[in-house]
Amino acid sequence: GRCRAELNHCTLQGQLQQQLLNPAGVMLAHLQLEPDLLWQPDSLTLQLPLQAQLQQGQALVAELPLQQASLQGHLSASLDAAGNWQLHSEQGLTSQLQLAAPPGWQLPPLALTLLPQLAAEGNLYATQAGGQLRVAPLRLQLQPVTLRQPATRQQAASELHLHASALQCQPSLTRRGLLGRCELQLALGPSSFQGWPIPDVQLQGPLQWRQLDEQASLHGQLQLQAAQQQLQLRLNLQHDVSAGRGNLQWHLNDTPLNWDSLNLSAMTALTKIQFLSGHLAGQGWVDWQQQQNGWQITPDISLRADNLSAIYDNSVALEGWNALLALRRPFQGDYLLDAQLSGLKLNPGIELSNLLARSQTRIPADFAWVQSEIYEMHTDVLGGRIHTPLIRYDSRREINSFGIEISRIQLSQIAALEPGSGVQASGTLDGLLPIVLTPQGPQIPAGNLFARDPGGVIRYQSPAADALGQSDQSVGLAMQILENFHYHQLQTGVQYQPDGQLNLALQFQGKNPDFFGGQSTHLNVNLEYNLLDFLESLRVTQDVITRLEEKYQ
């Protein structure tokens, strides 16, 4: 340093270095300053280039998985005789942080820009808290970065593309404490996680930090946009840091259910679901409270899907479906999921219409099991109706069972399923089918269907019937009886196996007025075929999938 003889002008230049070592002598941090100081009787000016390097940062900051950090930049400061001070930095400070990556992930250094266009001023002698500090908005900018998880034998690769993001805050001091008004901007580009696509996401909005009278709280009103702005979500966040509790209110605008418009076309192959129309909306709130053993989460949220039409696994067609889901957790106990589903049509090969189901599902806090009650479900099919009074399902049990009531099924519509079979029938069926859910799949051990009085007529005439009649004499008699069989009693035993194998044991009582003078006849017929293959053949014959796709093009 040097001063003029009159001591009215002094300068000081130099280089300061400091190393921080741990008890074993390993360097933890290195700091280098090159101050340039100018002193005059009425002012003091400081130019301060700085560099800092932090190694093994987790030993210094236990709460952050910080491995390395660097900081460099240039600050300018001044102070006059009246106590007015200023702090400036045009370019701000640049930093690189190397965080400890989660297991299996590759995380490059994070490049940050701290406090660009820094401009702060105040007065050392100001008596009012508001006059002590005047600061232009403080900014933190994160440069784009990509997190990668290489593929393994068990899972596909993952890539998260974080775009340029920023946090801008305007601090202010009061006599009671600190207020910080911030603006958050986060952006995630189209990414993937273990083979699942993630759409672009932007999160932005104001945040406010309050630290008054030793009480600290965070408030935010954020807007989340995703999937090419097709998804719009509003968030209202409040958290009391001192009390360790807070809540989040949210509202999801109507979002179109279309993988292409959401930029998620790969989801069709992953989920086997092809959406043709529909919208999703929702709202609710989530409360949380910090406890000794963790966080207590209390949700109360609802989701609604309207006019949903879709194709599942290129084999099941859904049209005109609506859904309402509500998730809550009363009295800090188990989670309760209430659901109501209704649909215009469901067609796996045999068309079901006017469907309705209501249920409640109980899930414990540790998600160890699921217990569901479907207390109403019905659908119209083949001119009649299928109804289940109550279904109970418990994932802790290996076997679950329930009953299906069948009423007013029309034999004429059953016969019409295969127009070329040569079968015509009339009559109405009722019955009960016991359903058993096993680890291998659903099965029907012993169901029964009965024809209503006064019975009906069955006519079976086809080249296949003639061929069967010529192959065996007893079969030939049966074929002749069935050419015009008027029955007054019909009973059908039903057995179904998880592999799709269906067995129908038909017992008829009636007569053929054109055979043996209309003598009373008892007739037993056993039919065996694979129901899954039969439904597949019906889908192909009726071209169910193509017709639904063309309808919503």
CB 130 within 8 A of CB 174: yes
**Counting beta carbons within 10 angstroms of the beta carbon of residue 539, is it exposed (0 to 12), middle (13 to 18) or buried (19 or more)?**
buried
C-alpha dihedral (404, 405, 411, 416), degrees to nearest 10: -40
CA distances 194 to 57, 226, 531, Å, are 30, 20, 36
Please list the rounded mean pLDDT of every run of 10 residues in the chain (553 residues). 85 87 76 88 88 66 70 91 89 88 89 90 71 80 94 91 94 78 95 94 94 88 94 96 93 94 90 94 94 87 96 93 95 89 94 96 92 94 94 94 95 88 91 94 94 92 67 73 91 94 93 87 89 89 87 83
Tens digits of per-residue pLDDT, 21-31? 777 777 777 88
Task: Spell out the long-range contacts of 65-68 with Cβ–Cβ below 8 A and sequence spacing 24 or more.
Answer: 65/99, 65/100, 66/97, 66/98, 66/99, 66/100, 67/98, 67/99, 67/100, 68/96, 68/97, 68/98, 68/109
- The CA distance from 313 to 281, in Å, is 25
Beta bridge pairs of residue 428: 410
- The CA distance from 16 to 212, in Å, is 38
Nearest to 136 by CA among 125, 120, 152: 120
3-state class of 538 per DSSP? helix
Nearest to 534 by CA among 394, 439, 364, 414: 414
Count CA atoms within 13 Å of residue 441 on its CB side: 7
Q: What pLDDT sits at residue 503?
A: 95
Beta bridge pairs of residue 44: 39, 79
Asked if residue 454 has a cis previous peptide bond (ω within 30° of 0), the answer is: yes
Q: Which two tokens stand for residue 34?
A: 């090159």
Stated pTM of the model: 0.81
Q: Which residues contact 62 (CB under 8 A, 6 or more apart)?
A: none
- The CA distance from 313 to 432, in Å, is 29
- Kindly report the backbone phi and psi dihedral angles of residue 484, in degrees, each rounded to the nearest multiple of 5, phi listed first: -160, 70
- Kindly report the backbone phi and psi dihedral angles of residue 470, in degrees, each rounded to the nearest multiple of 5, phi listed first: -80, -20
3-state class of 213 per DSSP? coil
- The CA distance from 506 to 494, in Å, is 9
Nearest to 12 by CA among 28, 42, 33: 33
Rg (CA), the chain: 38
Q: Give the DSSP H or E segment for 319.
A: strand 316-328
CB 286 within 8 A of CB 247: yes
CB 242 within 8 A of CB 213: no
User: 129-143 burial by CB neighbour count: b if 16+ within 10 A, else e?
Assistant: eeeeeebeebbbbbe
Q: What pLDDT sits at residue 56?
A: 60
CB 492 within 8 A of CB 501: no
Q: What pLDDT sits at residue 305?
A: 96
Task: Give me the residue label for tokens 């439904």.
Answer: 535
Longest dimension (CA), the chain: 144
